[in-house]
Structure 1
């Protein structure tokens, strides 16, 4: 590995250290905020818990990157607003045509059903702020603005996007959100690769979470337990929705690919890529 590349942060091995930070901080913050149950509104506790559980790792990762690379800012430019409607339809298509059907195949224990009901079922302002506002901003700053940005300067685009999406899924600490985060993360990662702007990822993330939140606003708790075919009125309807959603997604991705190729200037992330882990061993492998 060249000295120039080794200065970019993080590496994939350091990414595992970041996952450890998320786990430790999440446990600690949850223990502290649980002491406010019965004193504060449940939605407010969730909002505060989330802000600290994500905000502390964001601060740590940002500080380490600043120390190692001298980079102090994020790119929030929105130079290609024309693609936003397309991002909406592709995101919705991925949710209905791919993410939903896959997660539907994974059995969910009752305790997780209860957790998601509490997370999405309380229709108050704090849950909206947590799910639709805070989560997209904080998670995109971390996983695209910091982690993917660093990976793209060290690895091939495919490797960088896949591993950053994997870490994005892992920190949700359950298989259902892992699937959603992995798939959505790959899409957001590709858009970040082409635009180098974290704002498009925030928009996609807000669309995804906002649609999920809106759906939960209009269905009962009993309907949350239904499978896709049950929710959409039968297997035939469900298959039609899946196929239609995948077609919309395909058309949208084709348009975006064509638009990026013809309109967006190519971005050079690095001179050469590292395609194996061996060269990383012996270098810094933890967050310091």
Structure 2
């Protein structure tokens, strides 16, 4: 069995775990089960897989890089929250869905909430970025080319969340995550953006009257000019990355 065939064989259980119904669902107990399955089965599979494929998981080349990378990643995460708000006006999410999602996060015990927080900020970015931006593009780049290896995993990433109202924004987020991996030759910035995006979404979900909510969506007839200003550096950086030659790793 060749290295590529072994890798495909290992991808099957990882993909099955990521596509478990309920991994992005609303039930607390269902989410907890998916977290434990990911930790006990998914992470070991990814470790074995990384030994075969050796994806680019190196951090940025120097600590100094994070002085400019982290503020830009935060700015970019804010830009995506603004994008979600705009797309939410075009494709409204049913209020019943938002209420159910909010109640599911509020109904758990402190231990359950801590585990869910861990899943959103650590497990999901680590596993999903390693899978969708690390291994899948490596396997498909010879067949679909570099552009296809960004677009096809992004489509699967969007569909995997089983949320018809957020497919468009998840697809665009996945394209940005893939671009970070491709241009910076590292999974770490993609993982960081993924975690920041989840953190901002969680803050908005936990407190609909929070300062961040008002910052992004000030009210009817009002535009979040300050939020747009803060998001501009991240958007400009992303467009500059589009024009940057890709690494050939």
Q: Which residue of 2 aligns with 1:252?
A: 237
Q: Distance in 2 between matches of 1:178 and 1:148?
A: 20
TM-score (norm 1): 0.63
Q: Distance in 2 between matches of 1:61 and 1:233?
A: 44
Moved more, 157-166 or 210-219: 210-219
Q: Which residue of 2 aligns with 1:156?
A: 145
Q: Is the 8 A contact 1:144 1:198 kept in 2?
A: yes
Query: Where in structure 2 are the equivalents of 1:118-267 lying within 5 Å?
Result: 118-121=103-106, 124-219=113-208, 231-238=217-224, 240=225, 244=229, 247-254=232-239, 256=241, 267=247
- Select which of 75, 91, 116 maps to 1:89: 75
Deviations 1:179-211 (A, max 9, x none): 332111111100101123211111011111111
Q: Is the 8 A contact 1:89 1:248 kept in 2?
A: yes
Q: Distance in 2 between matches of 1:105 and 1:215?
A: 19
Aligned in 2, Cα 1:111/1:268: closer, same or farther, shift over 3 Å? same
Q: Which residue of 2 aligns with 1:77?
A: 59
Relative contact order (C-alpha < 8 Å, sep 6+): which is higher? 1
Q: Is the 8 A contact 1:58 1:142 kept in 2?
A: no
Unaligned runs of 5+ in 2: none
TM-score (norm 2): 0.71
Deviation of the 1:256 alpha carbon: 4.6
- Higher CA-based Rg: 1
Q: Is the 8 A contact 1:89 1:249 kept in 2?
A: yes
